[in-house]
Copies of this chain bind each other. A is one copy, B any other.
């Protein structure tokens, strides 16, 4: 029959055939029922979570990571609420995006259908387990989850509750499969399940994502790395620039849409830099600049070449002073990760040129990069933020978990 992972793959594929046939009403009812089941199993989930927390403390895990790992009654209620919200979203499956009649009478339509089997490889947060199931189930997919070994007890308890909910609704429990083998070999094998898994989505740090991109033969959607820039144009409203930079850098430091790099036109650098630096210093942000920036403001410390490409996810920001918009665009296109970039300007042509020429998933004029988010964009859900160009780019809502199929109605046509 094949290896452990192949068996999981073929079970998921079998279950996905079933999921694809479910009507929206049925899927919504099951999501509500699974949400209830999670709440009912709160005690056992918390008990299992305690095992992960004990192990984490023994291994000397950082307090911030332990906090991400920790579940509480409220966090489980939030997970359940997340599933109920997914139930309330429109179902993208079955929509016919176009239908036309060809000269020979063939009616050719393009219909949105499930991908089939979605694989998700993720790190510590156990709430991803319920969230990923909800999004995949709503879109008629089966899901294979591989969480971090730190959260293995918590994840298994959540998966158990979901399976119990599915069982009560008389649905195949294989709609969610969890890779219990936490070895590196198992995850490597998962990345080679071409033919079983239709798409693999890594959710976690840059190391995890790069390892999946390098090793997977299954199509991957790259998510999340963000070296986001804000460019202060020579025609910027400087007071707006300072507010936006403060927000984009400090509102939440550890996220992929936070600003990591500033680019400033030389003609406003002398005036703008002290304003920006004094605002950022209030939040304890360290500013690393090029030579010109350091000249204009003594609180800026010298940046090295590596700083231009860094995603700090921390209270640090780099500053580059440029002589032109073209130089700014070139700098951004050289060092960015294709996530979110913003120009602050009152100048029409500069705004348009920046939007046209900067190569990223989201290009802003006069707004904070922090808005790159499925909820802020109005999708009602988010699977992640794609920084690649194929299939989905930018915040991914339910549609990113679907594909299309051509449906053709004939009456005997031959070529």
A contact set with B: CB distance below 8 Å: 17, 20-21, 100, 102, 106, 108, 115-116, 194, 198-199, 213-214, 217, 219-221, 237, 240, 243-244, 246-248, 251, 333, 355-357, 359-368, 370-372, 376-378, 388-391, 393-395, 403-415
Contact = CB atoms under 8 A, between A and B. Distances in A.
Contact of A219 (B219, B356, B363): B219
Nearest to A386: B403
Given A102-B378, A394-B406, A406-B377, A415 B247 contact: yes
Oligomer: number of copies: 2
A403 B333 CA distance: 17
B363 A412 contact: no
Nearest to A246: B414
A405 B366 contact: no
Which of A214, A370, A371, A393 has most B Cβ within 10 Å?
A371
A248 B389 CA distance: 36
Contact residues of A: prevailing secondary structure? mixed
A360 B365 CA distance: 42
Contacts of A403: 389-390, 393
A393 B405 contact: yes
A21 B102 contact: no
B393 A404 contact: yes
A204 B268 CA distance: 55
A370 B21 CA distance: 27
B378 A100 contact: yes
A245 B190 CA distance: 39
8 contacts: A198-B388, A199-B390, A214-B217, A219-B388, A363-B405, A365-B408, A365-B409, A367-B409
Given A217-B214, A390-B390, A406-B394, A415 B21 contact: no
Contacts of A377: 102, 108, 406
B198 A17 contact: no
Contact of A412 (B106, B240, B355, B359): B240
A378 B109 CA distance: 12
Nearest to A370: B415
Contacts of A355: 407
Given A219-B219, A364-B410, A367-B106, A390 B198 contact: yes
Nearest to A213: B217
A104 to B, nearest CB: 8
Contacts of A372: 406
A88 to B, nearest CB: 18
A390 B213 contact: no
B17 A333 contact: yes
Contacts of A362: 405-406, 408
Nearest to A373: B415
A405 B367 contact: no
Contacts of A408: 362-365, 367, 371
A415 B378 contact: no
